Amino acid sequence: MQTNGKHRLRDVKFLTESTYILQMDRNGLEFEAGQHILLGADGDLNQREYSIYSGNNEEFLEVLIKEVDDGDVSIKLKDIQPGNYLQVEGPLGFFSLDEKLIPNHKFLFVSSGTGISPFHCMVKSHPELDYTLLHGVRYGKEGYESHHYDKNRYIKCTSGDQTGDFAGRVTDYLLKHPIDKSTICYFCGNFKMIREAMDILDKKGIPHNQLHAEVYF
């Protein structure tokens, strides 16, 4: 069910100096894991697309946001106090799992920064998923709520320090490790990462119809 309405802010949780989670009342919003919403302050015409971070079986609605210096919406949302209202439109988009494939396929999730959001939602929504999640960040402290994932399935790739599970970018990891050709692959994050990662997996023989992308920036 698509809605266009006000959702009360429950909580703001800061993960780093510039990255935070907004938790809102769900208000019965139904969505598929991987979809996004349009979000803004109540009464503000400026809205931005954010992937849904919380699972579709949870009673609340969450988004993961990184404050951008020139980002009008991300700066305003950070200062809204719990109890006030946000404007939500959605759900939107087709970046979702084919549930028929879940029981018999392996999934590879490749993300950079807050591009991990839809994969957090997918993992929370489908605990039975056979997945590997690559998360590309600059510093290890940016592994947003990594404890939510199976430690044997989550690989933090750090390009700015040595505190991750792999030193280098997610594309470096993909170049150095074999990928089963039957794996269903999803990408979310910056355009350059996605383009390079898809090219690498294409050369490894992953069929094009098994590559799915959501570009953040």
Report whether 35 contacts 127 (CB < 8 A).
no
The arithmetic mean of pLDDT across residues 121-138, rounded, is 97
Any bridge partners for residue 64, and if so which? 21
* pLDDT at residue number 156: 98
**Is the pLDDT at 76 greater than 60, yes or no?**
yes
Residue 108 tokens read as: 């590879």
Q: Which fold has domain 3-92?
A: Elongation Factor Tu (Ef-tu); domain 3 (2.40.30)
Helix (H) or strand (E) holding 50: strand 48-51
pTM of the prediction?
A: 0.95
Domain boundaries, the chain: 3-92, 102-215
Q: What is the DSSP string of 182-205?
A: T-EEEEEE-HHHHHHHHHHHHHTT
CATH number assigned to the domain covering 102-215 = 3.40.50.80
Q: What is the percent of the chain with per-residue pLDDT over 70, rounded to a whole number?
A: 98
In the chain, pLDDT over 90 holds for what percent of residues? Answer: 93
pLDDT at 4: 62
Closest CA to 118 of 184, 51, 172, 57: 51
pLDDT of residue 217 exceeding 90: no
Q: Kindly report, residue by residue over 188-207, the tens digit of the pLDDT.
A: 999 999 999 999 999 999 99
Q: Does residue 209 register a pLDDT over 70?
A: yes
Q: In CATH terms, are 3-92 and 102-215 the same topology? A: no
Q: What is the pLDDT of residues 16-71, one digit of tens each?
A: 999 999 999 999 999 999 999 999 999 888 999 999 999 999 999 999 999 988 77
The confidence score (pLDDT) of residue 20 equals 97
Task: State the Cα–Cα distance between residues 7 and 187, nearest whole angstrom.
Answer: 29
User: Mapping DSSP to helix (H, G, I), strand (E, B) and coil, where does residue 174 land?
Assistant: helix
Tell me what the pLDDT averaged over the chain comes to: 95
Give pLDDT tens digits for 158-179: 999 999 999 999 999 999 999 9
